[in-house]
Amino acid sequence: MIELVDIGKDFPGVRALAGVSLEIRPGEILGLVGENGAGKSTLIKILGGAYPAGSFEGEVRVAGQARRFRSTRCARAAGIALVHQELALVPELSVADNLLLGREPTRWGFVDGAATVARARDLLARVAGPAAADLDVTTAAGRLGVGQQQIVEIARALGDEREPAQVVVLDEPTAALTATEAARLFELVRARRAAGAAFVYISHHLDEILALTDRVAVLRDGRLVAVEATAATCREQLVELMTGAARAGNADRRDRRGARDGGPGAALAPAGGAAAPVLAVDGLRVWKPGLARPVVDGLSFRVHAGEVVALAGAMGAGRTACLSALFGLVRGQVEGTVTVDGARVDVGEPRRAIAAGLALVPEDRKGLGLVLGLSVGDNLGLPALARHGRWGVVDGARAERTAQAVVRDLRIKTPGLGAEVATLSGGNQQKIVIGKWLELAPRVLLLDEPTRGVDVGAKAEIYRVIEELTAAGHAVILASSDLPEIERLADRVLVLRDGRLAGELARGATALDIMRLALGAAEAA
């Protein structure tokens, strides 16, 4: 048995885990559920050695003995294997080479290819059973479907005779699988459970949790709030445990809409009114390379001037893929029709989206929203460079005045416009990602997790900017996993599940309402 005892973990300004104790028993499938940010990923990283001993409180016990893992390799040696949602196979190597990577049979000091293939076939047959029948171990792993790659990952985790895994953690394993591939995966997991292996199964799909697991552990705000026998619980109870009774209500929300309900925002386009939409999306479908099904599947919606429309849903529901497709950032196939102010727009690349009046604040601010090696002033001026000069020469004085105004208006804390943006705090970096678009006055601002990783003060400033933009007639699409944020800001909520629209909620929707749709509990009620 493996035990997590009084686990606590802090990040700057955030208590990610607080006093979590949990048993993982041999021969069981333990479900682990919670909202985004509840602490699931942090907990399994501690279990799997990604956070070394000394960087967290509490201890991990294996067979009653406290273990101090220095790395994932140490955890693997103790019998704990993690299979992440983002698979870690080497695509250029064969299935056999991936299965035996680091422990290949040798002969005369060289890798014995024939023995590697034979041992890999035996390993797959022992671990995967019938699921291995159509897997050619000499095929490059990158040529397999996602479902087959998932089986190879699990076989690699379970099949090491020298270091057999006692516990395999599966993190959102069906996120990119077809129904047939998922069913095959479930058969494999059940068979290995019968052979004595234990699994920790993390999923936002509560039907999978209820169908597959023996017990369910529920995390909320970094704390373990319940461990229930699966047979004794239901979707509705799990949703309520995940969201918490205190968060189900909406009475304490600060109403930001005084202006919108009777001021200039309302005159522009009240939510649900008859005014023509600023943005219309019809039949949006997004495919990503290597995935069997679209990550956004036939999504249609409208956004009006002065309105905040939130995209909610569990991880992998399609929120980020939707915004990325609208802004032309998807590396894959995109179908559907997009119009801005009634004019059809080809948003196949960002410059066209910008010209049409769209602007994106991406989830990955450092990788996609900023040029970290440039200064604050340069980052703020990038989208509007063409406005700051003529004949290819930038008017430095004008660009500086504009940047200074953004710094002042957004209260960005910086030593000066010449400071390297990488030296600023996360909250101030995020203000720059938002502020760089303001001179362009976009018709529609696309916000993907705009307050993730920022402190309370920066969050309040970002909320103020959103409110001022919508009061001035701009439209906002907000993709967020922070349900209180959606409760506060959204005029309407589009809840996505598996890339499709699961339902639309009006202003006043609660976290519980959203989670019911996102997890399918509303359909079962």
What average pLDDT score do residues 9-33 get? 90
Q: What is the DSSP string of 229-243?
A: EGGG--HHHHHHHHH
Q: Which tokens hold the place of 340?
A: 């801005």
What average pLDDT score do residues 45-68 get? 91
pLDDT tens digits along 325-377: 999 888 778 899 999 999 998 888 888 999 999 999 988 888 888 888 889 88
What average pLDDT score do residues 95-103 get? 82
pLDDT of the residue at 142: 83
pLDDT band at 242, cuts 50/70/90?
confident
pLDDT of the residue at 363: 85
What residues contact residue 340 under an 8 Å CB cut-off, 6+ apart?
Answer: 278, 279, 356, 357, 358, 443, 444
pLDDT tens digits along 117-130: 888 888 787 766 66
Residue 519 scores a pLDDT above 80: yes
pTM of the prediction? 0.62
pLDDT of the residue at 451: 84
pLDDT band at 456, cuts 50/70/90?
low
Extended beta strands in 372-431, E state:
389-390, 393-394
Point out the least confidently predicted range of 163-167, 220-224, 392-396, 500-504.
392-396
Distance CA 187, CA 183 (A): 6
Residue 33, beta-bridge partner list: 218
Share of the chain above pLDDT 90, in %: 29
Q: How many CB atoms lie within 10 A of CB 384?
A: 17
Distance CA 430, CA 414 (A): 13
- Mean pLDDT, the chain, integer: 82
Distance CA 189, CA 32 (A): 15
What residues contact residue 109 under an 8 Å CB cut-off, 6+ apart?
Answer: none
What average pLDDT score do residues 216-235 get? 93
pLDDT tens digits along 157-194: 776 655 667 898 988 887 666 667 678 788 888 988 99
260-357+442-525, CATH topology level:
Rossmann fold (3.40.50)
pLDDT of the residue at 414: 86
Residue 521 scores a pLDDT above 70: no
pLDDT tens digits along 261-301: 433 333 333 344 447 899 999 999 998 876 778 889 999 99
* CATH 3.40.50.300 boundaries in the chain: 2-247, 260-357+442-525
CB 215 within 8 A of CB 30: yes
Distance CA 289, CA 266 (A): 42
pLDDT of the residue at 356: 92
CB 6 within 8 A of CB 43: no
What average pLDDT score do residues 186-212 get? 88
Residue 156 scores a pLDDT above 50: yes
What average pLDDT score do residues 2-6 get? 93
CB 81 within 8 A of CB 167: yes
Q: How many CB atoms lie within 10 A of CB 121?
A: 18
CB 216 within 8 A of CB 233: yes
Q: Which tokens hold the place of 486?
A: 């959606």
What average pLDDT score do residues 308-323 get? 89
pLDDT tens digits along 75-89: 888 889 888 766 678
Provide the 8-state DSSP code for 520.
Answer: T
Distance CA 290, CA 319 (A): 19
2-247, CATH topology level:
Rossmann fold (3.40.50)
Q: What is the largest CA-CA distance in the chain?
A: 84
Residue 209 scores a pLDDT above 50: yes
Residue 307 scores a pLDDT above 70: yes
Q: Which tokens hold the place of 122?
A: 């035996």
